[in-house]
Structure 1
Amino acid sequence: MSKMYMSPGGYMPLMPNGTSNTQSSMQSMMQMSFYWGKDATVLFHGWPGKSVGMYILAIVFVFLLAMAIEVLSNQPLIKPGTSPLVGGLMQAFVQFFRISFVYMVMLAVMSFNGGIFIAAVVGHTLGFFIAKSRALALVNKEEDKGSSSVRNNV
């Protein structure tokens, strides 16, 4: 049986056709360049499979996760006057979910499916837009309160 050198671990036996058993099974399981199509594996083995409906669900799921990441990243988490312990616990709780979502989106994008990639990018973009526009609206609201009280006191 011929041998193939694997870096840095050692040798892997080759099949009669010159490929290793692991190598041929990995090539059928993992796509290593961007591709288009509904036949993908996203996050879990066999999901979404070959179903168009499940593929659309996977795209929507990744889109919503990406949006949630941006909203959780850009929102004030605690109110003034909250105790430091409670505020810290709330921030840690939100951070746990945000980081979990980040890794899930990263793994989904590593499926190299073009639709999943676009869903992640558009989800991040829309989530960022929503979070920042809400923050700007709050700032404008606070400025309006401050300027109206100044006008009333003059």
Structure 2
Amino acid sequence: MMPMYFYFSDQVVLLFDFWNVRSPAGMVLSVVVILLLALLYEAIKVAKAKVILRMMPALVPSVSQETLREPEQASVNAGLEQPAGTSKNPFLWHVAQTLLHITHVVLGYLVMLAVMSYNAWVFLGAIVGSTVGYYVAYPFLSIQ
């Protein structure tokens, strides 16, 4: 029976039966993998936001990139022309957004289920990965 409280140990089964950790080196490697999954989760969250920002002018003609950046300085006619890089048919952008979304959901559930092993090392790896991912990825939202 698995404990229902956080514990520090170098023995745990993570996500799948074959991911059976039984040594300190295996725990370090597992924590690094969980850290990277959490980091990737944050990076994909930013990528989804960038796709949405890029797709928004194509979906709502009254919204332009200038409106998204500086709403108080946007002109009345802003957004009437198609922004560079978006197609008249937003289908491809929607497919990209959908693929990013499903990847984001799967990674989120994997990290959550790993944390539900109640191993404190795995939990700390997820927290550090999420923190580093947020710190590294979110400045890319402001880069145009």
Q: TM exceeds 0.5?
A: yes
Q: How does 1:104-143 map to 2 (within 5 A)?
A: 104-136=110-142, 138=143
How far the C-alpha of 1:46 sits from its partner, in A, is: 4.9
Q: How does 1:77-92 map to 2 (within 5 A)?
A: 77=51, 79=54, 80-82=85-87, 83-92=89-98
Aligned residues of 1:49 and 1:55 also touching (Cα < 8 A): yes
% identical equivalent positions:
30
**Is 1:99 matched up with 2:105?**
yes
Q: How does 1:2-151 map to 2 (within 5 A)?
A: 27=1, 30-75=2-47, 76-77=50-51, 79=54, 80-82=85-87, 83-136=89-142, 138=143
Letter in 2 for 1:68: L
Return 106-115 or 42-51, whichever deviates more.
Answer: 42-51
Aligned residues of 1:48 and 1:55 also touching (Cα < 8 A): no
User: Which structure would you say has the larger RCO, counting Cα contacts within 8 Å and 6 or more residues apart?
Assistant: 2
Give the whole-Å Cα distance in 2 for the aligned partners of 1:40 and 1:67.
22
Unmatched segments (≥5 aa) in structure 2? 55-84
Q: Normalized against structure 1, the TM-score is what?
A: 0.65
Q: Deviations over 1:14-71 (max 9, x none)?
A: xxxxxxxxxxxxx2xx121100011111111252321222211210111011011111
Letter in 2 for 1:96: I
Aligned residues of 1:74 and 1:131 also touching (Cα < 8 A): yes
Aligned residues of 1:66 and 1:105 also touching (Cα < 8 A): yes
Tell me which residue corresponds to 2:74: none
Which structure has the bigger radius of gyration? 1
Aligned residues of 2:46 and 2:140 also touching (Cα < 8 A): no
Instruction: Tell me the C-alpha RMSD between the 2 structures.
Output: 1.7
Aligned residues of 1:63 and 1:122 also touching (Cα < 8 A): yes
Q: Normalized against structure 2, the TM-score is what?
A: 0.70
Unmatched segments (≥5 aa) in structure 1? 1-26, 140-154
**Number of aligned residue pairs:** 110
